A and B are shown apart, each in its own frame.
Chain A
């Protein structure tokens, strides 16, 4: 297992276009998280899935953002009608939820950097 994979690593788009990011988690992990990070800030929670169910969405996640995890494996994060304020690093993480805290440590991917012109 090569860890959490994210694609593309960098996306440049024009304002108003739609973009989609993909995340492939560690195969045995049942939880998948999306975070957003801007310069000088820590990662901010967007949403997370347990298997295919989306359990929580942040109020940061406007209706232009949608995330899916159709078969409980990979996930996609789509941003419609992008705005310059969407420019950020989008981080995906996965974990194995269990009764043990140690197993719920999040493993992050390298991120997908979005630049909206």
Chain B
């Protein structure tokens, strides 16, 4: 039972353009959402988060959008840089407990 789904296994974007990574969830009790980035041979690194009372959160080049009615969130990276190439995981939390992760999307930013 996958409660958090990232349906695009990979995404390729040209340097300087926008990267949009998508995530869907099924559990309406999730109230906090996070994006993590992972490089090979390293653990996931926290990138940005959003609580369910907001619909947008921005941090520099990274913006996360939340559509609660559609149970959908997205991560926008503008402009994309080659160093952004990594695996991006969407994660959701219920009542401040454990995180439930999606399967990840591999982002490749071409220079």
Contacts and interface: CB of A to CB of B under 8 A. Distances in A.
Nearest to A9: B41
A101 B101 CA distance: 17
A42 B46 contact: no
A48 to B, nearest CB: 6
A108 B43 contact: yes
Interface stretch (B12-20, B58-66, B67-75, B89-97): B89-97
Nearest to A10: B41
B97 A105 contact: no
Interface string A83-114: 00000000101000100011011111111000
Interface string B71-111: 00000000000000000010101001111111110000000
Contacts of A42: 4, 6, 89, 91, 101-104
Contacts of A101: 32, 49, 51, 93, 96
B55 to A, nearest CB: 16
Contacts of B46: 105-107
Contacts of A16: none
A111 B98 CA distance: 18
Given A40-B103, A91-B43, A91-B44, A56 B97 contact: yes
Contact of B43 (A4, A41, A97, A102): A4
A110 B89 contact: no
B43 A111 contact: yes
Most central of B9, B32, B51, B97 by chain A CB within 10 Å: B97
A12 B36 CA distance: 28
11 contacts: A40-B9, A41-B103, A42-B6, A43-B99, A56-B97, A97-B96, A101-B93, A105-B46, A105-B49, A107-B46, A110-B41
